[in-house]
Structure 1
Amino acid sequence: MSQPATTGVPVLALEGVNKSFGAVRALRDVSLELFAGEAHALAGENGAGKSTLIKTLAGVHRPDSGRVLLDGEPVVFHGPAGARDVGIAVIYQEPTLFPDLSIAENIFMGRQPRRALGRIDHKAVRTSTAALMARLGVELDPDRPARGLSIADQQIVEIAKALSFDARVLIMDEPTAALTGSETARLFSVVETLRAEGAAVLFISHRLEEIFELCQRVTVLRDGRWVASEPLAGLTQDDLVRRMVGRDLAELYPKQDSRVGETALSVRRLTREGVFRDVSFDVRRGEIVALAGLVGAGRTEVAQAVFGVDRADAGEVRVGGSALRPGSPTAA
């Protein structure tokens, strides 16, 4: 993966920014630099100030003090439209498209090319959308309705919309939270395409392995304060966690001896046709059992069936040795 140049003037920067909401100081003297052609990670625990920083860059919030710099010049955004007009776009983990409009109509909503007598030039809209998808290396039919698109495809549509505004900075807020492994790989390929075209990408994720795979530099926030901005090369995940929480991971979650008791929850051959089948596990008193799997593997559905929200077609759930009545959250 090529390393972008991080010298010269950044495309977008924050300089000594402070932001408070009443007595809560969300950002305290925070600085950030985004350079053309780089994917820059923003890391921090929940409540570290990441969302406030994103909204400051996107024109939703104005700093109480400090400066936002665009190409080295101070700029004041009077709203999200002001940030969008200078090429800043935010891609959220759950896009908000118009479900009954096509992909092309969503991308050019309110900006459709016109023909004589003010009629929309649908051919031009479709052609422009196809060109954007080709630019991203993604095959999506411009005429396909947004309803029914996967979250991954909806994000691609949002990225294409950003490019239609000539976005120079893309802010991706937890974009992989609901994606499968293959969908994440496709998204990363799109990000690499954007980087190669000179875009600056700010990537926010709690998945540290993704940060190390995609990004070249990282800025860490802790309790609203800037902690570090540095290259990821040479860092480990433990180094990053230490900057995020202020102490070693072993100190944060020390290993403790526990006494494991009798079985508290027993699930045997739980099946819901077409969703999951033949699921069995035990949970004993004093232990933590993880239910793991990719998005769409059925984790949520199994949990709902165990709790009785959804009725299983076969199998048994026992608590303390007693069988639960199927499909009854009250009994659970």
Structure 2
Amino acid sequence: MDKYYRQGHGNVHRASHSFARLATNAFESARKSIAQFIGAESQNIIWTSGSTQACNILARGLAQQLNQGDEIWISELEHHSNLVPWQQLAQQQKAKLRAIPILENGDLNLAYFRENLSDKCKIVAVSQVSNAIGSIQPVPEISRLAHQVGAKVVVDGAQAVAHLSVDVQRLGCDYYYFSGHKLYGPTGIGVLYGTESALELLEPSNFGGEMISKVAIEQSQWNSLPYRLEAGTPNIVGAIGLAAAIEFLSQFPSQQRLQHERDLLAYALRKLQQHPAVELVGQPMMRTGLIAFNLRGIHPQDAATLFDQYNVAVRCGHHCAMPLGNKLSPQGSIRLSLGLYNDQQDIDQALEAIDKIMELFDE
């Protein structure tokens, strides 16, 4: 990113000077890197500002595919960015928004989905991994069921890309999106993947430069994919930074990365389950390195503030997933997130912080 700003800060796809050529080459090389990382082709990768914009592009772009009485399915554990756009689309098109309920442990009630899915369903939008409790959803099975009734499948991969080996072909989805900052990259950059036929269904919702092939006063013609869905000057440096983050991750064999996180997760879960002050929130069958919990008798906000005093960074609240939080823990929860950069000592430090916090409240 520094090199781009210092040695070739030009716009892409426009000029013939050397700065523009260097920028375009780096930008499109980044698109190819992202495609390879998730098992896709580069022409199926659309740059966005993040997961929220990607979902809004889909919700607006698929509006013409919905009629009054059609159904959109989400789940009770969705991040707000994969809920509110579909909620608004349903209201706009007089469609029905339905939710796959969760079981007591936080897993999806897939039996309910099977029993209630019908050909009224046009869109199914689910997260691959819950950002609140870390549960891994059975996306290939959800895709199979949805496609049986002719629905398009949207997968929010924001919480999955840094913690699982993602292959969009194996998932069987029509669309998949994620944010760069979840992948150790910069903020303000994201990715929307779609199959060619699925992307062709999307009506552009942002208009201007780059997304057009011909413009007259009376009318305009849209560019080909992926540029048709990328209006205006893109976040060039963000794309370059995201490709660099993927290059960093690729230094480590994927199985090694995943095993490192699984080992830390097993250790953390065992220790937390044994601690008398810890109340786990959701215990899904399959999960990534993310644990939601509360400390007995202490509000999550108070606990998180004290964790920070002991140099332990956790998040508290409903984690932008209020329907899930209200069902499993109405007061919210504390979220401990593990990543490639963590080790066992970090978990021990968090456990020591819990002991110190409980001592303060027990005095």
TM-score range, shorter chain: 0.3 to 0.5
Larger Rg: 1
Say which structure is richer in helix.
2
When the two structures are superposed, what TM-score results if normalisation uses the length of structure 1? Answer: 0.34
